[in-house]
Amino acid sequence: MPELPEVETIRLMLRPLVTGRRIVRAHVLRGDIVGFPDAPGLEHGVAGRTIVELARKGKYLVVRLDEERDLVVHLRLSGHLEVVSQGDEVDYERARFELDDGKALAFAEPRALGRMFLVQRDKYPPELAGMMKMGPEPIQPDFDAAFLRERLRGRTAAVKSLLLDQQIACGVGNIYSDEALFRAGIRPHRRAGRLGKSEVDRLARALADVLKDGIRWCGTTLRDGRYQLPEGGAGSFQKRLAVFGREGERCRRRGCAGVVRLQKVGGRNARFCPVCQK
């Protein structure tokens, strides 16, 4: 569930807590969360390294270390990062990085689908091929309506499915794709290549806007409470969701009598207002 706004929020909050800190040692508590190289290799490879900065690409968080190493983290559905005191226990903890200030960076992941990779900056392994092939972020200048129109041209798949394709544009998941399509007034099952120019224009704008709004409100914490801020507490974009998680409820647009519908699109749930979205 962490999508671009959630990962960016985590990055911003973690940054002052870990930048400049040295990793004294690391413990991988569950080996299969290491995507590359392996648990011992990751533990050994980060020991003694200093955290230079925190970066992000799409939904990947990149912990830049000295000696040209990157610790790449993908939170997938339920991954979580927080800085704790070294004695503190963390539920579903999968890895811990002890820092030189008595704190520790903990990686928790109940589903155990999240992954960590320790790589040399100039040679990312095949395990991270998906990351290398990612398209631009909708909030970056290299993404615009003309680019999106080109990527959707001739495609027969549902526009919702293509918004989830990280190779077209990265960082968007189920929540923000639903919200962007609502803002653009486009139904999720519409065939991407059949959208009109003005529709794609609106969609490109909506994608950028909804991601920026998500960041502004520190991400979306759903009722399951899985996404929590690294410094504790919840995001607040869930209060502003137009359609996600609101199936069966009235459309939020003033004066609209529509009821938010839930429909499977390409194997995933999609929500939309049948009145506002054509």
Q: Binding residues for DNA, per CB under 7 A?
A: 1, 3, 32, 58-59, 74, 76-78, 92, 110-113, 128-131, 155-158, 161-162, 164, 166, 173-175, 192-193, 223-224, 266-269
Q: How far is the CB of 270 from DNA (least distance, A)?
A: 9
Write the DSSP string, 43-108: HHHHTT-BEEEEEEETTEEEEEETTTEEEEEE-TTT-EEEEEETT---TTEEEEEEETTSEEEEEE
Q: In angstroms, what is the minimal distance from the CB of 135 to DNA?
A: 11
CB of 72 to DNA, least distance (A): 11
Identify which of residues 87 and 267 has a Cβ nearer to DNA in the complex.
Answer: 267
Identify which of residues 99 and 192 has a Cβ nearer to DNA in the complex. 192
Catalytic residue among 57, 59, 246, 271: 59
57: annotated active-site residue: no
Single out the catalytic residue among 2, 136, 138, 188.
2
Q: What distance in Å separates the CA atoms of residue 118 and residue 202, rounded to the nearest whole number? A: 39
Name the helix (H) or strand (E) containing 14: helix 4-18
Catalytic residue list contains 230 = no
Give yes or no for a contact between 266 and 157, defined as CB atoms under 8 angstroms apart.
yes
Q: Is 160 a catalytic site residue?
A: no
Active site residue 3: yes
Inter-residue contact 51 to 70 (CB < 8 Å): no
Q: Do you find a cis peptide bond into 37, omega within 30 degrees of 0?
A: yes
Residue 265 near residue 161 (C-beta atoms within 8 A): yes
E strands of the chain, at which residues? 23-28, 34-36, 51-57, 60-65, 69-74, 80-85, 93-99, 103-108, 115-120, 261-265, 268-272
- What's the min distance (Å) between Cβ of 158 and DNA? 6
Nearer to DNA, 24 or 157 (CB): 157
- Least Å distance, CB 12 to DNA, is 19
**Residue partners of 14: CB distance under 8 A and separation at least 6:** 54, 81, 83, 105, 230
Catalytic annotation, residues: 2-3, 59, 268
